[in-house]
Amino acid sequence: MTEKNNEKPLRKILLICAKGSIEDVYATLIMGNGAVMEGIETKLFFTFFGLDAITKKQMMKLKTSTVGNPAMRMPGGLPFPSLLGIIPGVEAGVSWMMKKEMDKLDVPPVDEFLEMITAGGGEIYGCKLACDMFKLTKADLSDEVKDIITVGQLYEMAGGEGVQIIFT
């Protein structure tokens, strides 16, 4: 990234993940890993249902949202009727298909993505308020999680120029 027209280069990025569906979690992980690979200081903050992505018991069981997802399409491109999402097994089937397509593209599973991000120098945090609400401790979270922090601590990390905060 170069400076143009008095723009400062992106030096630091904070990604906030508040949803636990496959599509939301992977958006955070892919952008975070890309930032690390570009040499950008990267911090990921997981809050509310996004905590599923870093919770040991849930991180490998993420599902895609079928109800209320206007972008969901059936094979052939037809819109996916939200009503079908309430039928037992449909959400699991759609999630399986999504994971199968990601496997074809060699997209790493959540635990490997977290390892790649931290190995590249990225940092991963859990939200204190959400962890308290869901009765989670650091022991419940992936070993890649550096700490459980408050929103105030997150904002302290955002200090300085060239920082971008992205809410996925």
| Containing structural domain, residue 17 | 12-65+109-167
Read off the pLDDT of residues 105-133 as tens digits, 9 standing for 90 and up: 999 999 999 999 999 999 999 999 999 99
pLDDT at position 39: 94
In a domain, 51, yes or no: yes
The answer to whether position 7 is within a domain reads no
50 vs 72, more confident: 50
Judge whether 135 lies within some domain: yes
Return d(Cα 46, Cα 113) in angstroms, integer: 14
Of the listed ranges 17-31, 106-120, 134-148, 150-164, the least confidently predicted one is 150-164
**pLDDT computed for residue 4 by the predictor:** 54
| The pLDDT value given to residue 52 | 96
Least confident of 76-80, 95-99, 100-104: 76-80
Would you say residue 144 lies in a domain? yes
CATH code of 162's domain: 3.40.1260.10
Q: What is the pTM of this model?
A: 0.86
At 39-71, the pLDDT tens digits run 999 999 999 999 999 999 999 999 887 776 767
60 inside domain: yes
In a domain, 104, yes or no: no
In a domain, 101, yes or no: no
Q: Report CA torsion sign: 56, 116, 156, 2.
A: negative
Which pLDDT score is estimated for 168?
83
Domain count, the chain: 1
Look at residue 7 in the predicted model and tell me its pLDDT.
Answer: 67
Q: Is residue 37 part of a domain?
A: yes
- Give pLDDT tens digits for 7-46: 667 789 999 999 999 999 999 999 999 999 999 999 999 9
Q: Is the pLDDT higher at 93 or at 152? A: 152
HEC letters along 46-66: ECHHHHHHCECCCCCCCCCCC
